[in-house]
Structure 1
């Protein structure tokens, strides 16, 4: 079984008299260590998918397994415990607590786990080191740049050694240069730490860093080939972009 497995998942919402179905009997498998990006127009259900995989929201029908656990069958309290131990979440707007230092923000998820103080400290230090912020551990969010705040958010997402990390527009609030730096960081963490990632993005360039790319369209997933820019002197007759 894949690490993340969606089977026949559907989810609908009421908008006035209209029923919106962003996910319609969809199947999806994500293997251990995969980096999957998901694109699609606003309102197509990308964030809904993240909320379902993370157990924040419930499916109308179908099942979701993560590392063999059927999370669609868990009670709310068990879901909270499962999420703390198995899932990391990267937000677009960082969602750091302003009165806590970078170290304390990263430490928060570990307080929900049964760890010794020594192991908790080691995990936080390693997470901050992984994102290049060991020297900013005692800084507060107001003392950090936007990119550094997002790095703290990423460290917080990986500190509990989750089975899967979901990222909702992780570069959406950043300038181009900082966005590219965060893309490189996410790609490196995926490869070096074998972290399984599911990322929603509107940025086509950001989507390209993933090992697999999906488009959510009309309630279904469509596999997208990776685009490769071709040098001008090698431009094929049909156009300037090739696929592989």
Structure 2
């Protein structure tokens, strides 16, 4: 059953006198528990698609439904609440807050949810355990390696038990060995926790870990 559905979605931007259309009447279904990777040349709409699915941006036309909610109909305030409860986001550069510990960075998204202190602690501990960092909970970002920082970012993305996790170049700033480790982790989280993942990457080897690979070019999906 489709968890994410895009129907006839288009998005354009003005750049000077030119109109750029990164997404041109595209449709897409992603099933619950599916791991989808998205590749394509720079500027072809990959990050735009992530932003639309996560409700950060709105399409010019078409509809986007996630877990039964048509996000294109939500007001900005309701979108923020919906995103907090349903979306996880993995960034390329970790985006951890340096004055907070790993535990506190992971805990941040849960502060937006109506959870008890006990529930919040349990979720944070489970998320850190899932990425293999239970023993680094009290460490600050400066005390962690790049790979460990990205693991904290991944734990933060899953702590709210999101319907879908979107990942924008999650291995882009890592060395080869660390990238391999993060790839294994993402695949394991998808398989063992049934986390639905939509990942943008420029690396064909990283894209290959997904159960389905898509390629965007000139606003359309093309054959990989």
- What TM-score, normalized by structure 2, do the two folds share? 0.99
Task: Report the equivalent of 1:236.
Answer: none
The separation in 2 between residues aligned to 1:101 and 1:221, in whole angstroms, is 41
Specify the alignment match of 2:168 in structure 1.
168
Q: Report matched runs for 1:7-22 at 5 Å.
A: 7-22=7-22
- Unaligned residue ranges in structure 1 (runs of 5+): 225-244
Offset at residue 221 of structure 1 (A):
1.2
Q: CA RMSD in A?
A: 0.6
Residues 162 and 223 of structure 1, relative CA distance in 2, 3 Å threshold: farther
Q: Is the 8 A contact 1:213 1:223 kept in 2?
A: no
Following the alignment from structure 1 to structure 2, what is the Cα–Cα distance between the partners of residues 146 and 222? 34
Distance 1:169 1:196, change over 3 A: same
Give the distance between the partners of 2:222 and 2:130, measured in 1 at CA. Answer: 33
Deviation, 1:100, is: 0.2
Q: Which runs of 4+ in 1 moved over 4 A?
A: none
Gaps of 5+ in 2: none
* Pairwise CA distance, 1:222: 2.5
DSSP-derived class of the 2:41 partner: coil
Aligned residues: 224
2:122 aligns to what? 122
What is the rounded CA distance, in whole Å, between the counterparts of 1:168 and 1:206 in structure 2?
12
Distance in 2 separating the partners of 1:51 and 1:222: 20
Rg: which structure is higher?
1
CA positional deviation for 1:223: 4.6
Offset of 1:17 from its aligned partner?
0.6
**How far does residue 217 in structure 1 lie from its aligned partner after superposition?**
1.1
Equivalent residue of 2:2, what SS?
coil
Q: 1 or 2 for the larger relative contact order (CA 8 Å, sep ≥6)?
A: 2
The reply on whether 1:41 has 2:41 as its aligned counterpart is yes
Distance 2:223 2:96 in 1: 34
* C-alpha separation in 1, matches of 2:46 and 2:180: 22
1:93 and 2:93 are equivalent in the alignment = yes
